[in-house]
Amino acid sequence: MVMAKSKISYEESRRQRLEENKQRMEALNLTMLAQSLRNSSPSKLSPMKSVKKPRTMEKQVVMVRRSSRVANKPIPVYNEVVIERVVIPRRISKHRDLSNRVYASDEARTNALERAEKLLSELESEYPIFIKTMLQSHVTGGFWLGLPVHFCRKNLPKRDEVMTLIDEDGEEHKTVYLARKTGLSGGWKGFAVAHNLVDGDALIFQLIRPSAFKATQKPEATRPKASEHCHLPTRDVHTRLSNVVLNGEVEGIREAHSFG
């Protein structure tokens, strides 16, 4: 009974709603507008959608346009031209003869270092100074001389420089100081070969100010006698002691004290 009443009330409300909508459409004249749209003819195709005929290009023989700068020049020829290349002969590297390489004994190396320390105390130099003992890589192998890092960071330039080593005879040897690697590279081989440096030799490097150069040599009377030379077994080396003075900028002076 309740379900029947609710269904009747729903149908009644739906019918009333339809009547109200119909009255609104008549008030706005929407019914007539809808009828007129139905009776109207379909719209024509848009001009944009019309099919266009393909355009035919007329072929003509015309003069090729070219720049006035090249118009009067001859036509380039693109034939292949054989060019004779200059053949540079490759440098034939010769293996270094290491049969005559000498090796310093521990005793000889210690002896050279002690003499270097003794000479260092006698110099009483006011300039930065350090001792360097030669190894095979310094004098026979790669010919690269690494310097103490703390000494380089404190006293030497922060960039690569050309430094000159001057020996006791006044001969100059240009070397390249590499700041990042803290050592002497190019030119060091020439210095080592010219002075016959071998494994175990001890060198004293003395750095002076850029505004002054100092070259001193130990008197002959204070040098050791021949009987005091260090004679080593076969394939060992007579230890020598040299003092090298460098300039902090580009130039340098070397003091050499030979005990060999």
pLDDT band at residue 87, thresholds of 50, 70 and 90? low
Band (pLDDT 50/70/90 cuts) for residue 205 is confident
Please tell me which residue, 48 or 207, carries the higher pLDDT value: 207
pLDDT digits (tens, 9 = 90+) for 141-195: 777 888 889 988 888 888 888 887 767 677 777 888 888 888 888 888 888 888 8
Model-level pTM? 0.47
Mean pLDDT of 12-28: 85
- Give the per-residue SS3 of the chain: CHHHHHHHHHHHHHHHHHHHHHHHHHHCCHHHHHHHHHHCCCCCCCHHHCCCCCCCCCCCCCCCCCCHHHHCCCCCCCCCCCCCCCCCCCCCCCCCCCCCCCCCCHHHHHHHHHHHHHHHHHHCCCCCEEEEECCHHHHCCCCCEECCHHHHHHHCCCCCEEEEEECCCCCEEEEEEECCCCEECCCHHHHHHHCCCCCCCEEEEEEECCCCCCCCCCCHHHCCCHHHCCCCCCCCCCCCEEEEEEECCCCEEEEEECCC
Domains delineated in the chain = 106-257 (2.40.330.10)
Percentage of residues of the chain with pLDDT beyond 90: 0
Least confident of 10-24, 88-102, 223-237, 238-252: 223-237
The larger pLDDT score, comparing residue 210 to residue 105, is at 105
pLDDT for 6 beyond 70: no
| pLDDT exceeds cutoff 50 at 254 | no
- pLDDT number for residue 2: 53
Q: How confident is the model at residue 98 (pLDDT cuts 50, 70, 90)?
A: low
Predicted pLDDT of residue 240: 43
227 touches 154 (CB < 8 A): no
Max avg pLDDT among 6-20, 40-54, 223-237: 6-20
Asked if residue 133 lies in contact with residue 111, where contact means CB atoms within 8 angstroms, the answer is no
Please give the pLDDT value at position 151.
84
Using the predicted structure, report yes or no on whether residue 109 has a pLDDT greater than 80. Answer: yes
pLDDT at position 204 is 78
Using alpha carbons, list the distances in angstroms from residue 218 to 116, 126, 222, 253: 13, 17, 7, 14
**pLDDT score, position 222:** 34
Asked whether the predicted pLDDT for residue 58 surpasses 80, the reply is: no
241 confidence band (pLDDT: 50, 70, 90): very low
What pLDDT digit, counting tens, does each position of 112-129 carry? 888 888 887 887 777 788
Residue 130, pLDDT score: 80
Is the pLDDT at 243 greater than 70, yes or no? Answer: no
